[in-house]
Amino acid sequence: MTARQKPSFPKHFLWGAATAAHQVEGNNHNQWTVWELENAKAKAAQAEYHFGDSPAWDRIKAEAKSPQNYVSGRLADHYNNYATDFDYLTKMHMNGYRFGIEWSRIEPTEGAWNIEAITHYKNYLKELKKRDIEPIVTLFHFTLPVWFMEKGGFEKRANVKDFVRFAEKIAAELGTHMRYIITINEPEIYARESYLSQDWPPNESSRWKFLKVVNNLALAHKRAAAVIHATNRKLKVSIAKNSPYVYPGDNAWLSRVSAQTFQYLQDDWVIKKFIKSCDFLGVNYYFTNRVYGYRVHNPDEKLSDLHWDLQPADIEYVVERLYRKYKLPILITENGLADAEDEQRQWWIKETILGMQRAIAGGVDMIGYMHWSLMDNFEWAHGKWPRFGLVAIDYKTGKRTLRPSAAWFGRVIKKLRDAA
């Protein structure tokens, strides 16, 4: 790491980690918890088909074949242990933290606010402030109140107002404790997995509904951003966009055109619907896709436990492209990998830092970097076996352990912040 030589990151760059409410809090009641209970057995039965030929299979099979793996349950019980978990942010010298506010806790029945839950998040934010940690707050990270789903969720344009009311409530009650708000996490991934691929609740497969949901989410973002700004002009709003890097594997005309088309469909087609109501751009980077002809064919030299091809350095090209095109400061709202043995995480983070350094040197305005994730969590349809955490969680005892790569990352953050 050449970090000591010259200040390569801005003085106020935010170094942090991210979580989402449902993935760490434990004991939620929302559309996901209902679906988990209905689908756990089927998911357990399908695990070998999906991951049987993964090199990690022997290690993960006991968990992956157990229905319990697919029920979030208590998880890390972060809802009650957040102060302990924030100590790990401090241990890693972090000054930023992205987390979610669970709508189903704030408004458990339609139109009735839960004062206790609001107070909980107020205390949560105060605890971050005590530690000088900048909060980045997500309002919708894939989970919705059951009552909202029962009336059609984001399929219905008329329901958008419910989300806007929630956004307004959060800005009014908690807005003075925060600066950055992510209205919606990965809108197109939510719409695709829930309404096209039949992987997430409500398990639909309809192009029409997928499109409707993406458009309604764009409207929800626009209106939420307007009420947030009207409530508190200091607040800065964005979505978190899952942005892959796509490139042609050879010089053939078809490969080049396909790569451009894929990039457009996965990125710009979506971003264009949201960007006008963004003050910055939140970016989740996990994937690069190399295209030959009209197919993605990745090198697969290094794979995560989830079998994802790992190309951390390409973060440079992702942020450069987005900054050139949209000219908004960029905040990396997620970036990381499932690596239970902690064999590749340090390498991944190092390559990522170097990639960001190059992008910044090339003129990209970056606000910060949130690693996914602060702690092991509930990886949606895959359940608990994928381990994304800087902090490992023993789900039986609740014990937390800082992974070696995280201790190393903490030392690097300290050096980078001291040098800035």
Contact between 186 and ligand BGC by CB under 6 A: the answer reads yes
370, 331 Cβ separation under 8 angstroms: yes
Residue numbers 100-119 binding ligand BGC by CB under 6 A? none
Contact between 189 and ligand BGC by CB under 6 A: the answer reads yes
Stretch that binds ligand BGC, among 32-40, 107-115, 185-193, 320-328 (CB under 6 A): 185-193
Q: Which is nearer to ligand BGC, 155 or 376 (CB)?
A: 376
Q: Which two tokens stand for residue 274?
A: 């949201």
Binding residue (CB under 6 A) for ligand BGC from 36, 102, 309, 334? 334
- Minimal distance, residue 372 CB to ligand BGC, in Å: 6
Strand ranges in 256-365 using DSSP code E only, listed in sequence order = 281-284, 288-292, 295-296, 330-334
Residue showing tokens 């450069």: 320
Among the listed residues 272, 166, 142, the one whose alpha carbon sits nearest the alpha carbon of residue 215: 272
Residue 160's DSSP bridge partners are none
- Minimal distance, residue 50 CB to ligand BGC, in Å: 14
Q: What span, in angstroms and rounded, lies between the C-alpha atoms of 184 and 214?
A: 11
Stretch that binds ligand BGC, among 165-173, 183-191, 199-207, 319-327 (CB under 6 A): 183-191
- Minimal distance, residue 365 CB to ligand BGC, in Å: 23
387, 89 Cβ separation under 8 angstroms: no
Residue numbers 340-379 binding ligand BGC by CB under 6 A? 372, 379
Q: Half-sphere exposure (CA, 13 Å, Cβ side) for 228? A: 32
Q: What span, in angstroms and rounded, lies between the C-alpha atoms of 26 and 395?
A: 11
**78: Cβ contacts below 8 Å, ≥ 6 apart:** 19, 24, 25, 26, 85, 375
Q: What span, in angstroms and rounded, lies between the C-alpha atoms of 200 and 196?
A: 9
Binding residue (CB under 6 A) for ligand BGC from 20, 213, 275, 332? 20
- Minimal distance, residue 98 CB to ligand BGC, in Å: 10
- Minimal distance, residue 208 CB to ligand BGC, in Å: 24
Contact between 188 and ligand BGC by CB under 6 A: the answer reads no
Written as one letter, the residue type at 225 is A
379, 338 Cβ separation under 8 angstroms: yes
100 sits in which H/E element: strand 96-100
Stretch that binds ligand BGC, among 51-59, 61-69, 172-180, 182-190 (CB under 6 A): 182-190
- Minimal distance, residue 266 CB to ligand BGC, in Å: 13
Q: What span, in angstroms and rounded, lies between the C-alpha atoms of 167 and 183?
A: 8
Q: Which is nearer to ligand BGC, 36 or 186 (CB)?
A: 186
- Minimal distance, residue 20 CB to ligand BGC, in Å: 5
Q: Which is nearer to ligand BGC, 9 or 245 (CB)?
A: 245
Residue numbers 277-316 binding ligand BGC by CB under 6 A? 284
Binding residue (CB under 6 A) for ligand BGC from 28, 242, 335, 352? 242
Binding site for ligand BGC (CB under 6 A): 20, 23, 185-186, 189, 242, 284, 334, 372, 379
